[in-house]
A and B are shown apart, each in its own frame.
Chain A
Amino acid sequence: MLNQLTISELAAKLAGREVSAREATQSCLDQIQRVDGKIHAFISYDATDALAQADAADKLLSQGGSGASRPLLGVPIAIKDVLAVKNQPLNCGSKILGNFISPYDATVIEKLKAAGAIVFGRLNMDEFAMGSSTENSAFGITHNPWDAERIPGGSSGGSAAAVAADECLAALGSDTGGSIRQPAALCGCVGLKPTYGRVSRYGLVAFASSLDQIGPFTKDVRDAAAMLGIIAGHDPRDSTSVPQPVPDYSAALTGDIKGLKLGLPKEYMIGGLDAEVKAAVDAAVKQFEKLGAEIVEISLPHTDYAIATYYIVATAEASANLARFDGIRYGARVDGNDPIELYSKTRGAGFGAEVKRRIILGTYVLSSGYYDAYYLRAQKVRTLIRGDFLKAFEKVDAIVTPTSPTAAFKIGEKSDDPLQMYLSDIFTISCNLAGICGVSVPCGFTQNPKLPVGLQLLGKPFGEETLLKIAHTYEMNTLWHKQKPAV
């Protein structure tokens, strides 16, 4: 079944004219019809438009139009509802954007289209990317394809679930504190967060501007490397994107990690870590040793302060970024007698509980009298956290950790206790604060029920080549990623 292939497998069949883009796209649409009633990864999708793109791709394919210039020609890729795709809805999992239709393509979307991809669908997410379970969407909950009573992770839960359930060949998501890596771990697929500044944020609805990055969800590391090569690159329209040349990430996948040093942070093997998760990660570490890597114990001494730092920095930035949703230029509007009343009522009606919580917290930590004690202090602790990583990377080539302390938890299990939900981000959050890159790959399963466990690898700033090489070598020697949920 074409929807079950990887990008590299499908691209080869398309280039060889064994199958058509239309057949591949129809295969994904059929799968969505079959399983999305249960999973609800998609908020919406335009089948007619997807098939029209497929027909256009087939025309180019018949003229010999794939290969190096259009490596994704005819490949269906679905998009988290936080990225602008021209003439498609953009809601960010919220009511406040109303019937917003994007007037332009995000840079990453332009790049995917230039590469020939069939860009379709609006994938479910926690509202404005705030959450770790996709329970905060105004458009319903997404269910984990491995166990419908469990969350897929968040905030890019729809993206992870769609890839795990073969509803698309790959997907884009965004990661501010773990929102790509954690759902990838919980759904059993590959999720990559590039170094901050590697991928343009132009067209990504901003949550926390100094933490957000766009990244791919794929079925294997080879596909992730291919996707990164396409979406990465300097963009003058994003002043935080870095003018660093884009290497050939696929060429870095040599399968040889002999002599590489992998750091194990002693602070990460903590009390709340589930025994089965620990066992899977321990086994992965042994696997790395078998493959010739050297395991080095390291210390990231400020680990314990990462969540507190994040929930000041990210919420402060979010409170500023979400100020634009005021009912004036776009989105739903609730009228008022004066502008202030209009803004307050519009925002009160349009935002969900988690978003309100974070806006209030962010506004508070920036407010007069509290700025120094909270926001400024958090920015200084951020320096210390980044320093921990840069120091560790003097000794090791990459860092190995669990992605999440537990496998997927049940829907509703943590939604009443926001702090508990926040604490589950402990392993992913420091990566965004430090601005480094990270990837989650499948590394095993729990028993009863069978749920995926993710292994996280963290790399140096702009160290994605080494990161992906290590991840790919592990994947080739273990094959966890080949197991699929029975949906």
Chain B
Amino acid sequence: MAAPNIDIKYVAHLARLSLTPEEEKKLGDQLDGILGYIEKLKELDVTGVEPTAHAVPMVNVTRADEIRPSLPHDDALRNAPKQANGLFIVPKIVE
């Protein structure tokens, strides 16, 4: 069974990753190879098998809905590439 060819441009856009044409070609080839290997999972019969999302059988871990101290404002901004007036500066989102 051949793996479908990855549409690298489309997936890179989904992942918000800008790639050079060389990277697109190289990644495309490498990933086609890796996907070819992964095809072997289709050999298995998984009828009736429940998926495992994570290995420990814990569900619905919650805490009481109480306000608690969180990361101080200044600490949160400390590593900001661009900040002003206690806010992160971002490019214009809405025209």
Residues of A within 8 A of B (CB): 98-101, 103-104, 196-197, 209-210, 236, 239-240, 242, 302, 304-305, 307-309, 311-312, 319, 323, 326-333, 335-345, 347-349, 351, 353, 356-357, 359-361, 363-364, 367, 373-374, 376-384, 386, 418-419, 422, 433-436, 461
A328 vs B16: C-alpha distance when bound (angstroms): 13
A436: chain B residues within 8 A (beta carbon): 55
A196: chain B residues within 8 A (beta carbon): 54-56
B30: chain A residues within 8 A (beta carbon): 357, 418-419
B91: chain A residues within 8 A (beta carbon): 335-339, 341-342
Are the CB atoms of B17 and A418 closer together than 8 Å? no
A357 vs B91: C-alpha distance when bound (angstroms): 28
Smallest Cβ distance from B67 to chain A, in angstroms? 15
A70 vs B49: C-alpha distance when bound (angstroms): 47
Between A and B, how many residue pairs show CB distances below 8 Å?
170
Are the CB atoms of B52 and A382 closer together than 8 Å? yes
Q: Does B2 contact A (CB under 8 A)?
A: no
Are the CB atoms of A345 and B18 closer together than 8 Å? yes
Q: With A98-B81, A331-B81, A348-B17 as given contacts, are A360 and B41 in contact (CB-CB < 8 Å)?
A: no
Are the CB atoms of B12 and A360 closer together than 8 Å? yes
A349: chain B residues within 8 A (beta carbon): 18
A380 vs B31: C-alpha distance when bound (angstroms): 22
A351: chain B residues within 8 A (beta carbon): 17
A319: chain B residues within 8 A (beta carbon): 15
| Chain B 67-95: CB-based contact to A (< 8 A → 1; otherwise 0) | 00001000110111110000010111100
Are the CB atoms of B15 and A359 closer together than 8 Å? yes
Are the CB atoms of A340 and B52 closer together than 8 Å? no
Max count, chain B CB within 10 A of own CB: residue among A209, A335, A348, A461: A348
Q: Does B51 contact A (CB under 8 A)?
A: yes
Are the CB atoms of A210 and B16 closer together than 8 Å? no
Are the CB atoms of A384 and B46 closer together than 8 Å? yes
